[in-house]
């Protein structure tokens, strides 16, 4: 993989199984149990068994190590195990790692998973608490004394600048919230199933950190999600239609920090997303016009707008109108605002359902899905497509 040329990973691996626990605010069980439930469900969906698995990938923030999950799930020997850093930015990169292992022959069947009690246990939205000293943590130290203590406060800085620079209003953010909740309302798996909202509801929700309101912020969720990756050749003999990894990329921008990259030349975009976008378009040979559905990481609504602009779906400052016009089907599962906050892994599962034709909000003829991972941090992305 290079930021300067196309890579050759596309078309060599596919997602063949997806599985999840229920999404709740209090799971009542350990994170390890959630991980194992999701892994077993994904393998069953693929028509595979634990004995078929020889690779596991998860997030550095996960509390259930690969070898522990393997033991608890009945998986035997492993030839590949890996973890990706930077929180939600890792989501699509777990699939990239799995695809690289499969394409190179290091592993045959790799399961990517993420499981946490993020609502009943550690709540990421509560901000920096009891953090061990690290080099990257030192960057936060420049901002904490001024009251920038939580992810919402870090994003609010960029959101305020975006509105000022382009002469836009918070209703642009509301368009994203309304869209997500509309889709979640029709999704029985979503926490906000049957609970759509209006722009008026968005505008009436309480402030979290101006210009962000409560309905601009994603949920905090307990649950687990797993994905099974294998070769395209093997995928064709399995239970479900494969979602082929057309392209996969990671990206970190110049002067990158975790959520507090305030010393860049500007705050109205996401340079790390731009790195991912260039790699995905270059390696796949596709353009925004070729995408049938977008699953964009939506921990906070402003960053959905910036992602659309970085990927070239519309010009700078135009994404609010783009979303309002329903110019591209987005977050058809309800996103992390409407379905669940699983660090983006549930979004990848929805992209797979769109390729299979099994989404509750199915886009007719969907053959290519764009998926993004957490923004404001080093991030990743995928283009998934139908086989053939």
pLDDT, tens digit, 9 for 90 and up, residues 219-253: 999 999 999 999 999 999 999 999 999 999 999 99
- φ/ψ of residue 172, rounded to 5: -60, -40
Question: CB count, 10 Å around CB of 316?
Answer: 14
In this predicted structure, what is the pLDDT of residue 1?
Answer: 46
pLDDT higher for 385 or 136? 385
CB 85 within 8 A of CB 93: no
Q: What is the DSSP letter of 66?
A: H
Q: From CA 214, how far away is CA 203, in angstroms rounded?
A: 9
Q: To which residue do tokens 């509750």 refer?
A: 360
> Quick check: 170 pLDDT over 60?
yes
The whole-chain average pLDDT of the chain stands at 95
CA angle centred on 76, ends 74 and 81, rounded to 5°: 105
Residues annotated as catalytic are 297, 341
Q: Quick one: average pLDDT of 65-76?
A: 97
CB-based contact 112:226 (threshold 8 Å): yes
Record the pTM. 0.95
């Amino acid at each position: 993989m290079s930021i300067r040329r196309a890579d050759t990973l596309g078309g060599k691996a596919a997602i063949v199984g997806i599985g999840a626990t229920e999404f709740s605010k209090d799971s009542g069980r350990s994170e390890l149990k959630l991980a194992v439930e999701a892994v077993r469900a994904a393998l069953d969906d693929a028509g595979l068994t634990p004995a078929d698995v020889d690779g596991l990938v998860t997030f550095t923030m996960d509390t259930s190590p690969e070898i522990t999950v393997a033991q608890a799930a009945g998986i035997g020997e492993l030839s590949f195990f890996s973890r990706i850093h930077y929180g939600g930015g890792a989501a699509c990169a777990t699939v990239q790692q799995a695809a690289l292992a499969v394409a190179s022959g290091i592993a045959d069947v790799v399961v990517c998973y993420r499981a946490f009690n993020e609502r009943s246990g550690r709540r990421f939205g509560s901000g920096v608490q009891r953090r061990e000293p690290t080099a990257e943590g030192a960057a936060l130290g420049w901002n904490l004394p001024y009251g920038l203590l939580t992810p919402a406060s870090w994003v609010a800085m960029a959101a305020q600048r975006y509105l000022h620079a382009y002469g836009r209003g918070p209703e642009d953010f509301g368009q994203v919230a309304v869209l997500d909740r509309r889709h979640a309302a029709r999704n029985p798996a979503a926490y906000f199933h049957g609970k759509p909202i209006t722009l008026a509801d968005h505008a009436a929700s309480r402030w979290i950190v101006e210009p962000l309101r409560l309905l601009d912020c994603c949920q905090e969720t307990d649950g687990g999600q797993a994905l099974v990756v294998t070769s395209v050749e093997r995928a064709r003999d399995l239970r479900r239609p494969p979602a082929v990894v057309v392209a996969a990329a990671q990206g970190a921008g110049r002067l990158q920090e975790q959520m507090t990259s305030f010393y860049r030349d500007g705050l109205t975009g996401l340079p790390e997303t731009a790195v991912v976008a260039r790699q995905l378009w270059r390696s796949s040979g596709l353009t925004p016009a070729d995408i049938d559905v977008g699953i964009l990481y939506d921990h906070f609504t402003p960053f959905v707008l910036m992602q659309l602009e970085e990927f070239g779906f519309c010009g700078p400052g135009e994404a609010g109108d783009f979303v309002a016009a329903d110019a591209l089907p987005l977050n058809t599962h309800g996103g992390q605002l409407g379905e669940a906050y699983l660090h983006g892994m549930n979004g990848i599962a929805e992209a797979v359902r769109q390729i299979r034709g099994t989404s509750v909000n199915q886009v007719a003829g969907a053959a290519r899905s764009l998926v993004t991972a957490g923004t404001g941090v080093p991030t990743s992305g995928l283009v998934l497509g139908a086989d053939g």
